Structure 1
Amino acid sequence: MAQIALIMGSVYGAAQTLADTIQQVLHDKGHTTIYNASALVSDVHDVDACLIITSTTGQGDLPSNLEGFYFGARDTMPLQNQKPFGVIALGDSSYQTFCGAGEKMEELFYELQGMAPVPMLKIDACETLEPESLALPWLENWLATVNLK
């Protein structure tokens, strides 16, 4: 099966809880994961795909535990050559910068020539109390579309 990097950015823990759940689902399906509370650029070098799960803080900013990865990837990560990636962004639609961190991560991976087979999932905390209710069906679709072996 595939090796998938889980890149997580969390402020209050919701994105981390969701990433933990997704990691378990991926393991149950036979995939291996690389998952650290503070992702490293080296985490994505030899994986088959990347999943980014992040909340947004401030004015569309990245959570502090994701900043190092973002700036390191922007400055040093090699082109991804159509490596599949997916983004699950958590946010609050009452802010103009709704899911801004997810949008930054998506833009970064596009700039690095990654391939997103399905659109980014934006989960609104104002409407969805349990992000898993939207994220797990999205994950199933992402896995089927990426068709990782």
Structure 2
Amino acid sequence: MAVVILYGTETGTAEEIADTISDVIARHADTSVYGMDEYDVADLDPSDFHIIVCSTYGDGELPTGAVGFFDDLDADQPDLTGLRFAMFGLGDSIYDTFNHGSDIAADKLIALGAERVGEHARHDGSSKVRPRDLAKEWATDIAAVLAGRALESVSGN
């Protein structure tokens, strides 16, 4: 199974986190990393596992780097049944819209039939935890989920 990591960013932090997650997941699966602004929604493949890294911008909106991707999803309304994804959000709890960008992204994918797997990670820019440290820990958990899924498929369960 291939793992496609898509990021939506305003300042570049989500891209950095996507690369960090890729480094962890690459020990267990083939990974590729794309900005959402360079990825065509027609390329979403249910046979791949997707990891979405998304920041929050402005008044709780999607970042500029993700807007076109989700506009295309809204316009095309593809059936994403069978597509599995994990979500890593970036935000700051000093705002009422903490991590709202990743909530918007997850909700849109789920509305089209995709299934979120694992914990929706939510980094808080006001915490003392560095985003890369949270990403490494979270990605290790996601890799374990993927390994369990792969074992289930091989054993026929």
Displacement of 1:19 in angstroms is 0.8
**Structure 2 residue identity aligned to 1:83:** L
Name the CA distance, whole Å, in 2 between partners of 1:4 and 1:128: 29
- Structure 2, unmatched stretches of 5+, are 151-157
**Structure 1 residue identity aligned to 2:134:** L
Name the CA distance, whole Å, in 1 between partners of 2:47 and 2:11: 28
TM-score (norm 2): 0.84
Identity percentage over the alignment?
26
Structure 1 residues 109 and 146: CA distance shift in structure 2, 3 A: farther
Contact 1:56-1:98 within 8 A present in 2 as well: yes
Q: Higher mean Cα deviation, 92-101 or 32-41?
A: 32-41
Contact 1:26-1:33 within 8 A present in 2 as well: no
> Going by fraction, where is helix more abundant, 1 or 2?
2
Contact 1:51-1:85 within 8 A present in 2 as well: yes
CA-based RMSD of the aligned residues comes to 1.9
Which runs of 4 or more aligned residues in structure 1 lie more than 4 Å from their structure 2 counterparts after TM superposition? none
Structure 1 residues 15 and 36: CA distance shift in structure 2, 3 A: closer
Which residue does the alignment assign to 2:18? 19
Name the CA distance, whole Å, in 1 between partners of 2:33 and 2:15: 14
- Structure 1, unmatched stretches of 5+, are none
User: Does residue 94 of structure 1 match 2:94?
Assistant: yes
Displacement of 1:47 in angstroms is 4.6
Displacement of 1:109 in angstroms is 1.2
Greater Rg over alpha carbons, structure: 2
> The residue matched to 2:115 in structure 1 has which SS?
coil
Which residue does the alignment assign to 2:108? 108
Following superposition of structure 1 onto structure 2, how do residues 1-149 of structure 1 map, counting pairs within 5 Å?
2-36=1-35, 38=37, 39-45=39-45, 47-147=47-147, 149=150
Aligned residues: 148
